[in-house]
């Protein structure tokens, strides 16, 4: 390292490594990962979401999981919570649908209404 620019470059690279620990949660994607969700393919959905986020280099989204909410027949369920917006729950989210949700809802702020199971204010 010979200059300030080098330091800055390393800092930016390193910040990606610890991003999960330091960022204030902005947008959240929550995947239903109860036994029912996993049986319906939630793991593949989760991996597709992570893959799509990383392909698009989207860094300010936190992806977590949750347990069974009792709507097993609609699994895999995916919740999207954007700051100041209602919680949107998508149903039967396959990996392909998950990628489209990211493209449409996360990136372009367009909810894909036909897959929405419920909308919850103030979540």
The least distance separating other proteins from the CB of residue 83, rounded to whole angstroms, comes to 15
The least distance separating other proteins from the CB of residue 47, rounded to whole angstroms, comes to 8
The least distance separating other proteins from the CB of residue 88, rounded to whole angstroms, comes to 18
Residue pair 80/62 in contact by the 8 Å Cβ criterion: no
11 makes contact with other proteins (CB under 8 A): yes
| CB atoms inside a 10 Å sphere around CB 114 | 6
CA distance 78 to 72: 12
CA distance 15 to 32: 28
List the interface residues with other proteins, window 60-99 (CB under 8 A).
62-67
123 makes contact with other proteins (CB under 8 A): no
* Sequential DSSP letters for 66-117: E---S-GGGPSPEEEE-TTSPEEEE-S--HHHHHHHIIIIIIT----GGGEE
Query: Per-residue x/- mask for other proteins, residues 23 to 62, rule CB under 8 A?
Result: x-x----xxxxxx-xx-------xx--xx-xx-------x
Residues at the contact surface with other proteins, assessed by CB under 8 A: 1-4, 6-7, 10-11, 13-15, 17-18, 20-23, 25, 30-35, 37-38, 46-47, 50-51, 53-54, 62-67
């Amino acid at each position: 390292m010979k200059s300030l620019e080098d330091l800055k470059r390393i800092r930016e690279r390193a910040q990606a490594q610890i991003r999960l620990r330091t960022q204030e949660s902005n947008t959240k994607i929550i995947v239903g990962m109860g036994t029912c969700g996993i049986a319906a393919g939630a793991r593949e959905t989760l991996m597709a979401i992570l893959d799509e986020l990383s392909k698009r280099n989207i860094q300010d989204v936190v992806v977590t999981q949750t347990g069974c909410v009792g709507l097993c027949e609609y699994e895999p369920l995916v919740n999207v919570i954007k700051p100041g917006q209602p919680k949107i729950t998508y149903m039967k989210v396959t990996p392909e649908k998950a990628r489209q949700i990211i493209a449409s809802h996360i990136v372009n702020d367009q909810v894909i209404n036909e897959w929405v199971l419920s909308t919850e204010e103030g979540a």
